[in-house]
């Protein structure tokens, strides 16, 4: 994975973290992923297995997209997570990853 991602012209740094505590924004809880929209970075716990890693990365990138678009889709975290899980599952189930290759 790239160490940064361009979200509508705004660069978000991708930080791979060794522990879930380091992954959380304030290092005060355990998170698989986190998106800091003011500082423009995404943390992802690198101990996740491949499918969970991709799903978590997509979830956090989605938060960055919502922030850059001023979209409240992620205001309800539970509903947002269900939507993003559905998006991830649909991409994988239909083998649509090729759409993202150059
Ligand atoms: Zn979230």
Write out pLDDT tens, residues 72-85.
999 999 999 999 99
User: Percent of the chain beyond pLDDT 90?
Assistant: 84
Picking from 15, 19, 51, the residue whose alpha carbon sits closest to that of residue 32 is 19
pLDDT of 99: 78
Using the Cα atoms of residue 53, residue 17, residue 41 and residue 35 in order, give the sign of their dihedral.
positive
- Tell me the average pLDDT of the chain: 93
Tell me, in angstroms, the distance from the centre of ligand 1 to residue 74's CA: 7
Write out pLDDT tens, residues 17-46.
999 999 999 999 999 999 999 999 999 999
pLDDT of 33: 97
Tell me, in angstroms, the distance from the centre of ligand 1 to residue 100's CA: 22
Tell me, in angstroms, the distance from the centre of ligand 1 to residue 101's CA: 25
4-100 domain in CATH 3.10.450? no
Tell me, in angstroms, the distance from the centre of ligand 1 to residue 94's CA: 24
């Amino acid at each position: 994975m790239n160490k940064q991602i361009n979200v509508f012209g705004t660069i978000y740094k991708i930080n791979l973290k060794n522990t879930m505590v380091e992954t959380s924004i304030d290092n005060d809880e355990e998170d698989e992923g986190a998106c800091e929209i003011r500082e423009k970075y995404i943390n992802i716990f690198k101990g996740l297995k491949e499918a969970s890693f991709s799903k978590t990365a997509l979830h956090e990138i989605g938060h960055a997209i919502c922030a850059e678009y001023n979209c409240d889709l992620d205001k309800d975290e539970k509903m947002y997570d269900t939507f993003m899980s559905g998006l991830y599952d649909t991409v994988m189930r239909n083998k649509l990853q090729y759409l993202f290759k150059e």
